[in-house]
Amino acid sequence: MSVTEPSGDLLYTPEHEWVQRLGPTTVRIGITDYAQEQLGDVVFVQLPAVGDEVSAGASLGEVESTKSVSDVFSPLTAKVIAVNADLDTAPEKVNSGPYTDGWLVELEVASGESLDASLAQMLDADGYAGITAA
């Protein structure tokens, strides 16, 4: 199943996470459609708790599928301000709506300037398509 990617307001990491800016210092994170297709049917999602600090490049949780368990890497050093609790009882939302109902966490960074600098290092849709082309 292929999911339509949202309009160009997302940025991507080489580790297959997407990042959507929500405000001056906040972002929403999820895994890409490509990543969920590679995983297969998602059966469990482990996420950090609200208030946890996460570090750029470090694992912030795991997505478990019928095929494997994969780490989700934080694209930013930030504080977790929201987690998608719906995934506790419906982890398959990561497959059916990776850019909508299947989002994972929301993060807040210290300043808009640091967020701008971090986002400038990420891939745009064309750049991400370049690393996922067969």
Q: Residues 46-85: pLDDT tens digits?
A: 999 999 999 999 999 999 999 899 999 999 999 999 999 9
**CA neighbor of 119 nearest in space, from 68, 58, 76:** 76
In percent, the amount of the chain with pLDDT more than 90 equals 90
* Residue 126 binned pLDDT confidence (cut-offs 50, 70, 90): very high
Q: Which residue has the tokens 């966490």?
A: 105
Query: What is the rounded distance in angstroms from the CA atom of residue 1 to the CA atom of residue 110?
Result: 38
**Of 118, 21, 25, 117, which Cα lies nearest the Cα of 79?**
25
Check pLDDT > 50 for residue 1: no
Whether 12 shows a pLDDT value over 70: the answer reads yes
Please report which residue ranges of the chain form alpha helices under DSSP H.
33-39, 86-89, 93-96, 112-120, 125-132
pLDDT for 133 equals 82
